[in-house]
């Protein structure tokens, strides 16, 4: 269990963490989401005692990280994939960590096999790709067989097979009753990996709840997609019952709000109109996230059309100067 209470951290007069509180519980994968600069890495660093908060506290298993007697056995962390000395091999790095933390040396081979680095175990890390470094970082996090895992963007640089493997690994670790907190910007991946979602923006919690509730809360009002060869009369009948019907692009396709799928089906059945599709529209985690963070993003890019317009202006300016 990780407990963060009223955490405040200021850098150069800027409040990066602004009274952040949450609990990451055992037996689930908690996705830690937020726009660039929201304070995710800072939070993870505070949990690991790598910085001093101005106020508030972060506890793992009920105590501050610094008070853990065998930290690597309690908390495994991946913060920076390039933390290993470039001249060292994965085996040397892991063996050194195992020795200094009284971890069974046999565990080194086990984690190397687990992350798929056996064939590169004796090569210096300097020649490693980002994905291989990530795998090594994950091996380090798992070395002490910890009950809590903190992983900062662990999917970065992994190939599709690696991402799929990591998805299964995180699930298995949570199913074993461990606490797994994973920061990521990969919404589609988090949507299939996490069961709990914590979204922060500007150092504050924007949402903290089960993935399913977060996503269904974004479906407001709930909508139902229908496809029917009798769209005109059905749309008329649904509107008479107070529904809002918006025609889609495909033939016979529409989105209905204001009535449940069951109601829509019953109305169509009463008239003897066949319905080929009747599906509740579920927003994606990405949509839910974008809505939540719409006003909390620190950095926002310009839309491509605006860039084209800007280039147009620049061309005009150049033409003027010429
Ligand atoms: N040591 C530091 N000194 C000064 N500012 C810092 C320091 N560490 C973090 N910051 C600032 O704190 C803010 C939050 O940074 P942090 O890395 O925690 O965000 P993040 O949510 O992890 O972002 P990203 O998704 O881009 O990784 C940023 O504006 C960053 O520049």
Q: What is the pLDDT of residues 229-286, one digit of tens each?
A: 999 999 999 999 999 999 999 999 999 999 999 999 999 999 999 999 999 888 899 9
Is residue 36 within 6 Å of ligand 1 at its C-beta?
Answer: yes
Is residue 37 within 6 Å of ligand 1 at its C-beta?
Answer: yes
Contact 15, 71 (CB under 8 A): no
Q: How far is the CA of 89 from the centre of ligand 1 (A)?
A: 30
Half-sphere exposure of 291 (CA within 13 A, CB side): 13
The CA distance from 184 to 127, in Å, is 25
The best mutation among 18, 33, 35, 39 to test binding of ligand 1, ranked by most ligand atoms within 8 Å of the C-beta, falls on: 39
ipTM: 0.97
Is residue 38 within 6 Å of ligand 1 at its C-beta?
Answer: yes
pLDDT tens figures, 120-149: 889 988 888 989 999 999 999 999 999 999
Instruction: Give the pLDDT of residue 305.
Output: 64
Strand partners, 75: 148
Residue nearest atom 24 in ligand 1 by C-alpha distance: 36
Which residues are CB-contacts of 316 (< 8 A; sequence separation ≥ 6)? none
Residue nearest atom 13 in ligand 1 by C-alpha distance: 37
At 73, list the tokens.
């056995």
Torsion of CA 51, 52, 58, 64, to 10 degrees: 90
Is residue 34 within 6 Å of ligand 1 at its C-beta?
Answer: yes
The CA distance from 159 to 170, in Å, is 16
Cis peptide, bond prior to residue 40, ω within 30 of zero: no
Is residue 41 within 6 Å of ligand 1 at its C-beta?
Answer: yes
The CA distance from 180 to 177, in Å, is 9
The CA distance from 64 to 75, in Å, is 12
247 φ, ψ (degrees, to nearest 5): -70, 140
The CA distance from 116 to 128, in Å, is 13
Taking only the tens of pLDDT, the chain with its 322 residues reads: 999 999 999 999 999 999 999 999 999 999 999 999 999 999 999 999 999 999 999 999 999 999 998 899 999 999 976 777 887 899 999 999 999 988 999 999 999 999 999 998 899 888 889 899 999 999 999 999 999 999 999 999 899 999 999 999 999 999 999 999 999 999 999 999 999 999 999 999 999 999 999 988 887 788 999 999 999 999 999 999 999 999 999 999 999 999 999 999 999 999 999 999 999 888 899 999 998 898 766 667 766 666 566 555 555 444 444 4
Instruction: Give the pLDDT of residue 312.
Output: 56
Give the three-class secondary structure for 278. Answer: strand
Closest atom, ligand 1, to C-alpha of 153? 27
CA distances, 259 to each of 35, 187, 225, 231, 266 (Å):
35, 29, 11, 16, 11
Instruction: Give the pLDDT of residue 308.
Output: 62
Q: How far is the CA of 39 from the centre of ligand 1 (A)?
A: 6
**Dihedral angle sign, alpha carbons of residues 311, 312, 316, 319:** positive
Q: What is the pTM of this model?
A: 0.84
Q: How far is the CA of 36 from the centre of ligand 1 (A)?
A: 8
């Amino acid at each position: 269990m990780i407990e963060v209470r009223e955490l405040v951290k200021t850098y150069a007069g800027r409040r990066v963490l602004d009274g952040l509180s949450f609990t990451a519980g055992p037996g689930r994968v908690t996705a830690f989401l937020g726009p660039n600069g929201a304070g995710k890495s800072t939070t993870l660093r505070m949990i690991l005692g790598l910085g001093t908060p101005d106020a508030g506290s972060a506890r793992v298993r009920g105590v501050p990280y610094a008070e853990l007697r065998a930290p690597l056995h309690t908390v495994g962390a991946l913060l920076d994939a390039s933390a290993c000395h470039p001249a060292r091999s994965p085996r040397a790095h892991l063996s050194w960590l195992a020795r200094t933390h009284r971890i069974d040396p046999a565990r080194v081979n086990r984690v190397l096999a687990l992350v798929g680095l056996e064939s590169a175990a004796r090569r210096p890390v300097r020649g490693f790709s980002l994905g291989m470094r990530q795998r090594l970082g994950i091996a380090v996090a798992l070395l002490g067989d910890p009950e809590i895992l903190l992983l900062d963007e662990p999917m970065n640089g992994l190939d599709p097979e690696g991402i799929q493997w990591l998805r299964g690994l995180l699930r298995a670790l949570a199913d074993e009753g461990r606490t797994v907190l994973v920061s990521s910007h990969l919404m589609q991946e988090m949507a299939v990996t996490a069961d709990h979602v914590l979204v922060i923006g500007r150092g504050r919690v924007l949402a903290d709840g089960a993935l399913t509730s977060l996503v269904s809360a974004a479906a407001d009002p709930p909508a139902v997609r229908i496809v029917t060869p009798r769209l005109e009369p059905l749309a008329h009948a649904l509107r008479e019952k107070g529904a809002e019907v918006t025609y889609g692009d495909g033939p016979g396709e529409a989105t209905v709000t204001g009535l449940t799928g069951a109601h829509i089906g019953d109305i169509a059945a009463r008239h003897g109109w066949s319905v080929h599709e009747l599906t509740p529209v579920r927003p994606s985690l990405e949509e839910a996230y974008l809505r939540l963070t719409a006003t909390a993003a620190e950095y926002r890019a310009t839309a491509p059309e605006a860039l084209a317009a800007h280039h147009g202006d620049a061309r005009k300016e150049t033409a003027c100067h010429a």
